[in-house]
Structure 1
Amino acid sequence: MEKVEIGDIFTLIDENDQEQEIEVLGTMNIEGIEYAAVGFVEEIQEETDEDIDVFFLRVEEDEGLSIIESDEEFDQVSAAFEEAGEE
């Protein structure tokens, strides 16, 4: 499978078995692990001044995306993306 890249769109199934499309907004390698910042396609496409919800997911070896389980790992990834956005 190809590398996860900015603009890629994935379909997730939420806890209510509803399909949600997410778009990759950015990727970053932190300590040898690839992460993706993603947002809901519907929110991204809306022309609004409101902030969109951004989520961070781990990119697995098979190029699938998975939830970050630990708060410590999530905080590290969130801080790294925030710092990169400020540069």
Structure 2
Amino acid sequence: MEKIEVGEIITLLGENDEEQEIEVLGVMNIEGAEYAAVGFVEEIQGEEDVDIDVFFLRVDEDEELSIIEDDEEFEKVSAAFEAASIEED
């Protein structure tokens, strides 16, 4: 599989075998591991001025996305993406 890129739209299978499209909002390497910040396409492209939910996923060696289950790892990733977004502003 090709490298995950910002702006890429990926279809995931939800809990009830329901397809959901997510867009990659950012990709970051943290301590040797690759992570992606993603949001639901429906929220991102919506016309309403509402906050969108952003999720952080680990990018595995085969470029598959997986949930971050460890709270400490999640906090580290969340803080790194937040710091990067503040630097961009």
TM range (shorter): over 0.9
Q: Trace 1:1-87 onto structure 2 (pairs within 5 A).
A: 1-87=1-87
User: For structure 2, which runs of at least 5 residues remain unmatched after alignment?
Assistant: none
Cα distance in 1 for partners of 2:71, 2:26 equals: 20
Divergent runs of 4+, >3 A:
none
TM-score calculated relative to the size of structure 2: 0.94
SS in structure 2 of the partner of residue 51 of structure 1: coil
Cα distance in 1 for partners of 2:78, 2:43 equals: 20
Computed over aligned residues only, the root mean square deviation of the Cα atoms, in angstroms, reads 0.7
Shift of 1:16: 1.5
Cα distance in 2 for partners of 1:28, 1:47 equals: 28
Shift of 1:15: 1.1
Shift of 1:8: 0.9
Identity of aligned residues (%): 77
Cα distance in 2 for partners of 1:47, 1:25 equals: 18
Shift of 1:10: 1.0
Aligned length: 87
